[in-house]
Amino acid sequence: MFELDLFFYFEILAYLLGLSATLVFAIAIYLKWHRRHPSLPTAEEQPQLAELQPDLSARLKIRKNLLIFPNSNLLAIADSFLGKLLGIGYNLFLAQQQRPTVNSSPLVGPSTSKTVSLSIEGSIDQNADSPPNDNPPKATTSPQLEEDLLGDILAGTNSPGGTQFFDTLVPHLASALGVRSAIAAKSIKSIERADLTPDKLQVISFWSDGQPQPNFECNTANTPEALVFEQGMYSCPDRLMETFPEDRRPIVTGSRSFLGILLKNSYGEPLGIICIFHDRPLLESHLAKFQLIISIFAGRAAAELERQRLEAALCTVEAKYCALVEQMPAVTYISPLNRSAAKLYISPQIETFLGYSVAEWKADPDLWLKLVHPEDRDRVLVENATQKFTEGEDIFSDGPLVSEYRAIARNGKIVWFRDRAIAVRDRASNSVILQGAMFDITETKVAASALLESEYRYYTLAKILPVGIFRADAAGDCLYVNERFLEMAGLTAPKALGEGWAQSLHPEDRDRILSQWYRAVKDKLPCKLEYRFCNGDLTTWVFWQAVPEIDNNGAVLGYLGTLTDISDRKQAEFALQQAEEKYRSIFENAIEGIFQTSADGRYISANPALARIYGYESATQLIANIHDIEHQLYLDPNRRVEFLGAIEKHGSVSEFESQVYRADGTTIWVSENGRAVRDAGGNLLYYEGTVEDITLRKIAEEKLVHDALHDTLTGLPNRALFMDRLGHAIELSKRRPEVLFAVLFIDLDRFKVVNDSLGHLVGDRLLIAIAQRLEICLRAGDTVARLGGDEFAILLENIKNTDDAIHIAERVQAELAQPFYLNEYQVFSSASIGIVCSGLPQDPNNFSEFSSPGNLVHVDRETALSCLSPDSPVPVPFRILYDRPEELLRDADAAMYHAKGLGKARHEVFDLSMHTRAVALLQLENELRRALDSQEFQLYYQPIVSLTSGRISGFEALLRWYHPQRGLVAPGEFILVAEETRLIVPIGWWMMRSACCQIHEWHEKFPANPPLTVSVNLSNEQFKQPDLIDRIREILQETHLDPRTLKLEITEGVIVDNAESAAAILSQLKNLEIELYIDDFGTGYSSLSRLHTFPTDALKIDRAFVSRMTEDEGNEAIVQTILILASHLGMDAIAEGIETIEQLNLLRALQCEYGQGYFFSKPVDTITATGLIESQPKW
C-alpha cells in the first residue's frame, strides 16, 4: 500500500513551486513506491494502486495544467512518467523497463531511446580520463539517497521568496546533482526578443566546492551560457575547455562538464539561467535525468525571478500611480455605498476645487450631498449608485456610473463636475464600494454655452464677411453658400447648391477645377484652387480653399471652405510678370555701376554705368585699362585695402565711401557696396558689388555741415561754431596765461521796434546788413557770430589788453550808428556791448584795471565770486581764468545788460561788481540744491482732455517749488538756472519718479480702460545722459507703472541739439513702449524733412498758436496745418492753451484729438486732481 504521509509536504511544495509542482508531486509518489516496491507491482498490488488512482488523478489534474517545461522533450518525458504512475499504460513497468523514445529537439539535441528513472546510477563516467573525484554525483539506488535527493529538491525549492532565495536554491541544486559548482544568473538588460542573447549576465548566487562564492558579472560571448540562451537548455558532457577555448573560467576552475537551462517567464521571455559545472564528465546516458532535475529547480527559480521583477515593477507603478493621482486635474475618491459612512479616500485636489479639506470630507459623510446644487440634488440622487443599489439594480454590469452636476464651493463659486465611478466589491470585506473621479467641467459647460452663441455669430458673420463661405457634404456637393459667394458667382442660392455653382465657372477653367475638386473630395484631402467666375461680361478671379470636417473616428463629414476675390492680386501678378520682362533691360541700363573683381585687383566684368562713372567709353575699355585697382583707381590706396578687409571681416560691406580717379585724372566721390563670392569649400572666387557716384551728395553734405555751423540768414558762424572757437581760446589761455583774448556780446537796442513796425522781412534785411558791418570791424583771425535773434558775439584773439577790445567795441558802435537803407526805408540802429577779457586783473576793493599786472594770482571764476565775501582767502588783486565758454559768455551777457541798463548804445567791461545778479543766481542755485534735498518741490497736474469724448484722458505733470520764505515759486523763475547748473537732471528724475508713483496710485484707485496717462517733460540735459534708458527703465520697475501710460514730452530744440543721437535714443525709448510727444511744436527749429524719421507719437501745438487762432486766420491755418501733418504721419495732436469755448469748438471742427488749458482746468495739486478724476467732468 501507498503511504501518503508525504502528500501534505508536496502540497506545500506544489504551492511554492507553481509551474513545476506536478512533476515534483509525481516524483514523490514514484520514490515512495520504489522504496517499498523495488520490483514491479504484482497482480495483487495492482488493485491497491487502482484504489489510489482517483485521488491521485484529482490532485494531478489540477497541477498538470500548470506544468511548463523549457522544451517539448522534457514535457513528453514528464507526461509519460505521470501516466505510468497513475496506471495509464502499465508498459512503464514492463520487465524490460523501456521508456518511450524522446524525439529530437533543437534545444536539447538528438537523443536515443533511453530508460528514464530518477535513479542516477553511475552518472559519472568512471572510466574517463580524469583525476579522482572527491565529490561524485549522488547515486539514488538506495532509498536513503533517494530521500536525500528529494530533500535537496524540497529544500532548494521550498525557500520563501526574497533576497536569500537563490542563496538557498543554488547549494541544494549542486547537492542534488552532486556537482562541484552551481550558478544562478540573470540578464543585466531586458531582452525584447526571445532569440537574442544578452551581452552580460549578473551572477546572483554562486556555490562551489561546498561554500558560497562572490557574485560577479560575466560576458556571454563564446561561453556555454550563450548556447543556453540560444537553445533553452544546453549541456557539454565533456571537454568543456576545448569546446570553449576563449572562456577562461573552465581552465581556471578545472571544469570539464556543463549543464544549463534558460529561465523564462510565463510569456516565454528570457530572464536568466541556472547551470552547473563539474570537474568530471557527465555520462550521456543520465543526461536526461540531470535535465529533469534541473528543470524542477528552473521552474521555481524562473517564478522567483519573475516575482521579483514584477514586485519591483509593481512598486514603481504604485509610486507613479500615487504621483499621478496627486497631479491629476481631477478629484479621485473611494467611497462606501452607505452615505452615512465617511469617505475611504479622497485626493487633495478637492480642496482646490471646492475649498474643503480632505479632513472635512472624511469627517462629514453628508458633505458631498450638501454641496450638490439644490437644483441638481434630486436628479443626482436618482443617478447615484447608492440609490440604484438600494432599489436592487445591477450596478456592476452596466459600466461606469456617470453623472454631471453642479457643486457650490466654499467661496460660493459654482463648479460643474462630471462624476465617473465604478462599483466594485471589496475582497476583504465583501462590501460594495465606489471608485471614481470628479472632473471639473466648468470650462466645458461654459464653452458649450459659448458654442451656441458662436454658432449664431457664425451665421451672422457669414452674411456680412467680405469673403464667400460654403459648406459641402462628403461627396463634394454644396449644402450652403453665403451671400458673398452668390455675388461672386452671379447665382441665386437654389442654383448654387449641389453642383450648380459650377455653371458659373469660366469655360477654360471648368473641367480642370471640377476634376481637382472631386479628386480632393475622393482622397479626403484639403483643396486649394484658383479659378474664374463669369457673370456676364464681368470676370472675377477667386481663391477657393476647403478643408474636410472630420469626426472623432476619422470619417469625413463634409467640407468647409471660403472663397476670396483675388482679382486685384491677379492683376498685380500680371503687372509683376511684365516688370520681370523689363528687368534685363533695366539691369543693362542701370545708373549704378556693377562690377566683379578678382582678388589681385583686376576687373572681371563691369556694366556700362560703371564705365561712365569712371570716365571710360565702355566697360571693355575700363577692364582693359585698369590692371591694379588699388593704385590706379584710389586716391588713397589704403581705402581699397580697408574695403576688402571689411568684406573679409563682415562678409559684406555697404556704403563704403572713397575718392577715386576718373580716366581724365579728375577725382570724384563714390560709395561702394560689395561682398565676397566663394565656392562650396569657402575659397574666394571673386568680389562683386555696386558703385554710385556720390560727388554731388558730398558737396551737399559739406554745405550741410557749413549750414549746421553757420546762421542761415546772415551766413555768420552760429552759436555752436562760436562756442567751439571760444573753447579753443580758453584752452590756449590755460596753457599760456599771457595770451589774452576778449569776447564782445552785442545786443541790438531797437530791433524789436523795427520788427514790429516794418515787419520781419525788413528786420531780416537789417540783420544781414548789421552782420556785414560787423565783419568790416574785425581783424584777420577774429570771429563774429550770430547767437540768435538780435544777439551777436565777437571773439577777439591775441589782444594786448582791454584797450584793444574797447577799441573794437567803439568801432562797432560807430558802424552801427550809421543809417541803414533798406529799400525805401532808412533805419537807424544801435547796440549795447558787454566786454569780457581773459586774464583781466581784478581787485574787489578797486574795480579798475591795473596798468602793470605784475605777479597776479590766477583763480577760476568760482573762486573769483567767493572774493566778494569779506573773509575771502584769496589775496588781491588776482586774474580770472575761465574754464568753460558758457561762463565767459555769461559774464559778457552780464556786462551787456549792465551797459543796456545804463542807457543803451554803450559798452561796458565786465568786472565783479556786475556779479550781483550772478551772485543772486548762485544763491538761487544753492537754494535749488537745498530744495531738492529738502523735498520742497511739488508736482501740479493739468488735465489732458479727449476732445472727442470730453473726458479726462490723462495729466501733464508740472513742476512747482514751494519756497519756505517765498511760498510757491513758478517754474519760469528757476528753470533756466536749473538748466544752466544742470540741476535739472536730478530734479527731472525726481519729477518723473513722483509722477509715475502718482499715476500708478490713480490706476489702482480709479481703474479705467484705457487707463489714465501722465506726461512728463524730458529736459535737454536729461536727454544727453548716457544712462537715460536705464534710469527710466529703473523708475518704471520701481513704481510698477505700465510704460504705455507714460508720455515723455521733448522739445524740438532737444532733438536739434542732439541730432546725431536723437533717433537712436528715441527708438530705445519706444522699445520701452513709452509714447513720445514733441512739445511746443512749431516754435522750434526742427526740420520737417526729418520729422517722419523720428519715432514720435504726438505733436503738442504751442499755446502761442492756439490762443490767437480765433482772432488770427494765420494762426488758425498754422494749427490746421499741424493737425494735417500729424494725421499724415500717424501721430496724435494735443492743443495747448485752450482758454475759451470758441477755441474748443474750432479745434473740434478741425478734428484735433486732445487739448489742455485753463478752459478745462489750471494746473492743480494732487488732491484737487484726484477730485477731478472722481467727479468725472465732461466738457
3-state secondary structure 493-542: HHHHCECHHHHHECCCCHHHHHHHHHHHHHHCCCEEEEEEEEECCEEEEE
**What's the half-sphere exposure (Cβ side, CA atoms, 13 Å) at 116?**
26
Report residue 945 as a C-alpha cell.
Answer: 482732455
Question: In which element (H, E) is residue 370 found?
Answer: helix 367-371
Location of C-alpha cell 521571455: 269
Sequential DSSP letters for 879-947: EEE-S-HHHHHHHHHHHHHHHHHTTSS-EEE--GGGGHHHHHHHHHHHHHHHHHHTT-EEEEEEEEEET
678 against 587, higher pLDDT? 678
Q: Which of 1170, 1029, 1047, 1028 is nearest to 1098 (CA)?
A: 1047
Location of C-alpha cell 509610486: 319
What are phi and psi for residue 798, nearest 5 degrees? Answer: 60, 50
Cα 1119 to Cα 1108: distance, rounded to the nearest angstrom: 10
Q: Which of 146, 180, 184 is nearest to 297 (CA)?
A: 184
Cα 442 to Cα 888: distance, rounded to the nearest angstrom: 78
Residue 934 has pLDDT above 50, yes or no: yes
Q: Lowest mean pLDDT: which of 194-198, 228-232, 718-722, 808-812?
A: 194-198
Residue 415 has pLDDT above 60, yes or no: yes
What are phi and psi for residue 670, nearest 5 degrees? Answer: -130, 155
**What's the half-sphere exposure (Cβ side, CA atoms, 13 Å) at 262?**
28
Cα 256 to Cα 277: distance, rounded to the nearest angstrom: 7
Domains of the chain, CATH where assigned: 4-313 (3.30.450.40), 328-446 (3.30.450.20), 465-573 (3.30.450.20), 590-692 (3.30.450.20), 709-924 (3.30.70.270), 938-1175 (3.20.20.450)
CB count in 10 Å sphere of residue 528 = 12
Crossing angle of the two packed helices 45-64 and 21-36, in degrees rounded to 10:
170
Cis peptide before 1163 (omega within 30 of 0): no
Query: Are the beta carbons of 279 and 130 closer than 8 angstroms?
Result: yes
Cα 753 to Cα 735: distance, rounded to the nearest angstrom: 45
Cα–Cα distance list, 1067 to 315, 1062, 1136 (Å): 61, 8, 26
CB count in 10 Å sphere of residue 1108 = 16
Query: Are the beta carbons of 170 and 274 closer than 8 angstroms?
Result: yes
Q: What is the pLDDT of residues 272-331, one digit of tens each?
A: 999 999 999 988 777 888 888 888 888 888 888 888 888 887 788 777 777 777 777 888
DSSP code at position 866 = H
Q: Is 430 helix (H, G, I), strand (E, B) or coil?
A: coil
What is the reported pLDDT for 65? 36
Cis peptide before 106 (omega within 30 of 0): no
1098 against 883, higher pLDDT? 1098
Residue 411 has pLDDT above 90, yes or no: yes
Angle at the Cα of 193 from the Cα atoms of 192 and 197, rounded to 5 degrees:
100
Cα 22 to Cα 261: distance, rounded to the nearest angstrom: 19
Q: What is the pLDDT of residues 44-87, one digit of tens each?
A: 544 554 444 444 444 443 333 333 334 444 444 444 444 444 33
Q: CB neighbours of 640 closer than 8 A, spacing ≥ 6?
A: 601, 629, 630, 633, 634, 658
Q: Which residues of 960-997 are buried (b: 16+ CB within 10 A; e: fewer)?
A: ebeeeeeeebeeeebbebbbebebbbebbbebbbbbbb
Q: What is the pLDDT of residues 432-464, one digit of tens each?
A: 788 888 999 998 888 888 878 877 777 777 777
Average pLDDT over residues 1135-1162: 95
Location of C-alpha cell 565711401: 657
Location of C-alpha cell 523514445: 101
Taken as a whole, the chain contains a residue count of 1179
What are phi and psi for residue 352, nearest 5 degrees? Answer: -65, -40
With cut-offs at 50, 70 and 90, classify the pLDDT of residue 339: low
Alpha helices in 739-858 (DSSP H): 751-758, 760-777, 802-817
Q: Lowest mean pLDDT: which of 140-144, 1001-1005, 1055-1059?
A: 140-144
Tell me what the pLDDT averaged over the chain comes to.
80
What is the reported pLDDT for 39? 43
Cα 637 to Cα 629: distance, rounded to the nearest angstrom: 9
Percentage of residues of the chain with pLDDT beyond 90:
41
What are phi and psi for residue 177, nearest 5 degrees? Answer: -100, -5
Query: Looking at the DSSP assignment, which residues form a beta bridge with residue 203?
Result: 185
With cut-offs at 50, 70 and 90, classify the pLDDT of residue 110: very low
